[in-house]
Structures are given as structure tokens and as C-alpha cells.
Amino acid sequence: MPKLKKFHFIIIGVVLTLLVIGFLTFKNLNSSEVNETDDLATPTEALPTIDSSVVVDLDFTANKKSMILTISNIPEGTETIDYEISYLTGEGLPKGNIGSLKVEGKSEVKRSGEELTLGTCSRGKCVYYEGVTKVSLSLKFKKSDGSAAIFQKDYDL
């Protein structure tokens, strides 16, 4: 019988050791999750929207394979306008176009051609995406004094 008691004590000791190790591991996992939230970036201030006098047109060509972006009544002091056009293909894949327009004191700028296709172009050949039904446009107007304003709108094809 003494050997059986010794065996029980060993089993109980192993089980207790595993429980303590499990508890400490679980406690460390939970405390590290709390610390990760401390490292999150502070949210940045939202930019104001552009004045309603600015006119933004995003037109589609007759074949619906490319776009023409026209911006008029550009506020004085605007140096550049960054644009981002995003959409989903018929297969549900996210695609888009990004770029920047130099204003150079003009009150109207326009962008079209290969830069604004609903597809990809390389070496003069384009492959167009099928099934695009809506396009989201985001513009960021950057002024010479460092200020900026945004414009956002969705367009249906």
C-alpha cells in the first residue's frame, strides 16, 4: 500500500503543477491583451469638407470602361488635389485609382485617360473589369498654408 500512496501523491503533484502553470499562462495572456490597447495610435483630427461652391464631376465614358474627373471652382490657394477612386469588380475584388492633380493657380482641373480606367493598363494595352456598378471618390484639397479639406461621394454607373 505505501507504493500506491506514493503514486497518488506524484499524480496529485503533477496535476497541481499543471494547473498552476495553466493559470499563470492564462493570466499573462490576459494582461498582455490589456497592454496592447495602450499602444493604439491616438485618433487624428477629422478634416473639414470642402466648400459647397466647388463642383466635382465624375463622368463615365459611353463604354463604361473609363472615367473623366473634372473639378471646378477650386478654392484659391489650393496647390494640389489628391484623389482616390475605389470600386468592387463583379467578382467582389476591391480595385481603384490614386493620384494627384497639380492646380498651379487654375480654377479647373481635369483628369482622364489611362489613369482613370476601370481596369489595368500596361504598355498601351488595357484589361477592363466587368460588373462595376458603383465608384467611390475621395478628394483631398491641399492648400499652400498647410490646411486641407476633403470631398467624398459615391457614383453609380
- Determine, yes or no, domain membership for 84: yes
Which CATH number characterizes residue 111's domain? 2.60.40.10
- Decide: pTM greater than 0.85: no
SS3 at position 9? helix
- Per-position DSSP letters for 77-136, written without gaps between them: TEEEEEEEEEEE-TT--EEEEEEEEE-TT-SEEEE-GGGGBSEEEETTEEEEPS---EEE
Is residue 121 in a domain? yes
Report helix, strand or coil for 43.
coil
Any domain includes 64: yes
Query: Mean pLDDT, the chain, as a whole number?
Result: 83
User: What's the pLDDT tens digit per position in 111-127?
Assistant: 988 789 999 988 889 89
Dist CA 139 CA 50 (whole Å): 9
Amino acid found at 111: R
Full residue range of the structural domain in which residue 74 is found: 55-156
